Amino acid sequence: MKTKSLYARGFTLVELLVVIAIIAALAGIGVPVILRQQKKAALSEAISNAKEIGLAMMNFDSDYGSFPSDSTAKTVKENTNTDLTLGTSSSNDYFRQLLAASYCDAEKIFYVKTPYTKKPDNVIQGSKALENGEVGFGYIMASMTEAQSSSGNSGRPLLVTPLLNAGTDGTCDLDQFDKKAVVLRLDHSATAETVRPADKQVNLGGGKTLLQTGTDTVWGTDVTPVIKPPLKSGG
């Protein structure tokens, strides 16, 4: 008498539910790990890119007397006859001075993975240079028109990311780098600093924040720092 092979029968509903439950459990364990690794990779890229921008800034400062500002924009225009837009409202505008004056030759160093950025196309001619969404760093100036220079307090922040919604008040995205923000200082150190959950401000140490001024801060009492934000993709 012939018997049916056990392998010929299908899975029962209970067996299928058990398999689905196991797959769901594994996914629940694996997905958060993958996401954390992706955030760590993005954080490392942001730190590396901040240092690259910092090097270009230092070389620019050596030749122009300060980091990119409203006044250096005019000088760069005169010296290079560039067709790039050297505006004064966003970090994109000021970073274009570095491209125009040949202190860097690619857009990729200005990129940070955020909700409002896109991968740069590395086209650095005309209106395509550092267009909306290709910059992820906020640029911190000494005032609305004046830039910092390398002679300032070495602990002062120069770049910051990821700004919450590309804003100007110093608040940062808690989720992008797991409650961390990348800060480049005048001493060329680029570090991951804690973002406070309560107010989303970056803690620079001793409870001080990015734009906080006063006698016991890196800014002192004679500087009113401002953040020039990046232009959002699609904006």
Interatomic CA distance for residues 121 and 34, integer angstroms = 27
Interatomic CA distance for residues 108 and 139, integer angstroms = 16
Task: Give the list of residues 6+ apart from residue 146 with CB closer than 8 angstroms, or none.
Answer: 66, 69, 70, 71
The structure's pTM equals 0.86
pLDDT of residue 39: 82
Alpha-carbon distances, residue 72 vs 153, 175, 198 (angstroms): 21, 36, 38
Residue 3 domain-assigned (yes or no): no
In contact, 45 and 58? CB cutoff 8 Å: no
pLDDT of residue 12: 80
Per-residue confidence in pLDDT tens, the chain, 235 aa: 455 554 456 668 777 788 888 888 777 776 566 677 778 899 999 999 999 999 999 999 999 999 999 999 999 999 999 999 999 999 999 999 999 999 999 999 999 999 999 999 999 999 999 999 999 999 999 999 999 999 999 999 999 999 999 999 999 999 999 999 999 999 999 999 999 999 999 999 889 999 999 999 999 999 999 999 999 998 6
Residue 171 domain-assigned (yes or no): yes
Residue 189 domain-assigned (yes or no): yes
Residue 97 domain-assigned (yes or no): yes
Task: Give the list of residues 6+ apart from residue 130 with CB closer than 8 angstroms, or none.
Answer: 92, 95, 96, 99, 107, 110, 120, 124
Domain total in the chain: 1
In contact, 143 and 171? CB cutoff 8 Å: no
Residue 125 domain-assigned (yes or no): yes
Q: What is the CA radius of gyration of the chain?
A: 24
- Element (DSSP H or E) covering residue 232: none
3-state secondary structure of 74: helix
pLDDT of residue 25: 79
Residue 234 domain-assigned (yes or no): no
Residue 235 domain-assigned (yes or no): no
Residue 153's domain comprises 13-228
Block residue for tokens 């395509």: 128
3-state secondary structure of 207: coil
Residue 38 domain-assigned (yes or no): yes
pLDDT of residue 30: 67
Amino acid at 152: G
3-state secondary structure of 138: strand
pLDDT of residue 235: 66
pLDDT of residue 10: 64
**Taking the mean position of all CA atoms in its chain, how far away is CA 184?**
10
3-state secondary structure of 28: helix
